Structure 1
Amino acid sequence: MDNTPKENISQIMAVLSVNTKIHSHPRSTIIFLAEKCVLLHKGVVALCRQRDNLVYGYYSAPMIFGLNLSNLNPDLYIRPCGNIQCEIIEHSEVIKLADEHKIWKSIALFSMKMTSQALHYHNRLTATSTRELIIACLMALETEDDIVRSRIVAVDYIQSRTNLSRSAVMKLLAELKSYGGVTISKGLLVSLDKAVLDTI
């Protein structure tokens, strides 16, 4: 996602990050967020819900996960979309450093923005039909960072965020393409024609 508060991320990471604690992780890695803060320095990850593996969103570096510090993350994990570099910090250390360097304002602003994104995502999931849900996901994909759009095919993006069957997604995408509402090349979203989509 490209609408996270980058200036707050930079301020927070400058305080929390220690170069010697940055490690590489392959695509197969799963990092759970219970009582942890994860600083993503390089790569793209999916933020997922454990009980059904639903993807809340795709994020590219630099990014921070687990900053709510209230243990609201036991069901969340991040899954790399390729090789990544990150560091993992216990909440107790985050609190200590935040007190010492007085970065609570930056943390609060960042957390508010992420909460707003979560509510926006929830509203998208309340679409009343499969068609509306798929169109909402396509519009979300269109706003992703270029690095995300270039790595994740549209079908996978939609399916991971909705748990709709692959056949249902493929069928609706084919229909939307036939109307000229969406352009897809090699599985990747190229463009949307919102005027057409509004009439379907």
Structure 2
Amino acid sequence: MPSSSKPLSEFLALDKKLSQTGTRFQITAGELILPANYTMNDVTVVVQQGVVSLHRNEGHVLYGILQSPSIFGLAAAANTIRNDYTLIAESDCRGFYLPSRETLKCLDRYQLWREAFYWMAWQTRMLEMRDMQLIGTNHYHQIRSTLLTMIDWDEEIRLRIGVLNYIQQRTRISRSVIAEVLAALRKGAYIEMKKGKLVSIARLPTHY
């Protein structure tokens, strides 16, 4: 199994048991995944269908856009680090959430520790890849890696999310620098954009 591939069989095993005690949701694009009286610190969220964006509230940092299936907060009850995060639907979404303490009980009751480990190991790998793209690299390489991430999204999502806004929220690079690089890439026919959305990538130069 490639290191970047989601452990789908493990997801299905977790989904089957966690869903038995979960509160289901079915929401449209733009809505918060959790009700106002819930926080990501205390729940596990399972997105069975749809696309969501994960935001860190401190500093207003956009971690990324994630396509289903996804699980968030799998170890929330065991994690003493308290950062505030928000999940927002970027398309029609359905799934469920449950208190994190119930998640731990479920993992123990059905001996799903292996499946939980595989899922969390995959998440750690994704964070490592994100760090490689954004930490210790110059502005162009951050913009380049973000464009390559975006082109892998489903077309429906790409045509909804503005390139400049997404790159700025993900990297915190100034809008003027991002606009300059995007204009140069468009002029060189390296990328195609329409109404601020990414349509296609021919190729991206290694250096700017």
Distance 1:143 1:43 in 2: 15
Residue type of the alignment partner of 2:7: P
SS in 1 for 2:119: helix
Task: Name which of 191, 205, 208 aligns with 1:197.
Answer: 205
SS in 1 for 2:103: helix
How many residue pairs were aligned?
198
Match of 1:38 in 2: 45
Distance 2:103 2:145 in 1: 36
Distance 1:8 1:163 in 2: 34
Residue type of the alignment partner of 1:87: F
Distance 1:157 1:164 in 2: 11
- Map Cα deviations across residues 88-117 of structure 1 (whole Å, 9 max, x no partner): 211111111112222111110010010010
The CA deviation at 1:47 is 1.0
Contact 2:25 2:94 in 1 (8 A): yes
Residue type of the alignment partner of 1:57: G
1:18 aligns with 2:20: yes
| Mapping 1:88-107, distance limit 5 Å | 88-107=97-116
Task: Name which of 111, 119, 124 aligns with 2:128.
Answer: 119
Contact 1:48 1:54 in 2 (8 A): yes
Distance 1:100 1:152 in 2: 41
Match of 1:181 in 2: 190
After alignment, is 151-160 or 134-143 more displaced?
Answer: 151-160
Contact 2:46 2:97 in 1 (8 A): yes
Distance 1:145 1:127 in 2: 29
After alignment, is 20-29 or 165-174 more displaced?
Answer: 20-29
Residue type of the alignment partner of 2:69: P
1:166 aligns with 2:175: yes
Distance 2:156 2:150 in 1: 11
TM-score by length of 2: 0.83
After alignment, is 99-108 or 14-23 more displaced?
Answer: 14-23
What is the root-mean-square deviation of aligned Cα atoms in Å?
2.4
The CA deviation at 1:140 is 1.6
| Structure 1 unaligned blocks of 5 or more | none
The CA deviation at 1:13 is 0.6
Match of 2:73 in 1: 66
Match of 1:5 in 2: 7
TM-score by length of 1: 0.86
After alignment, is 104-113 or 137-146 more displaced?
Answer: 137-146
Residue type of the alignment partner of 1:88: Y
SS in 2 for 1:52: coil
Contact 1:60 1:148 in 2 (8 A): no
SS in 1 for 2:53: strand
SS in 2 for 1:22: strand
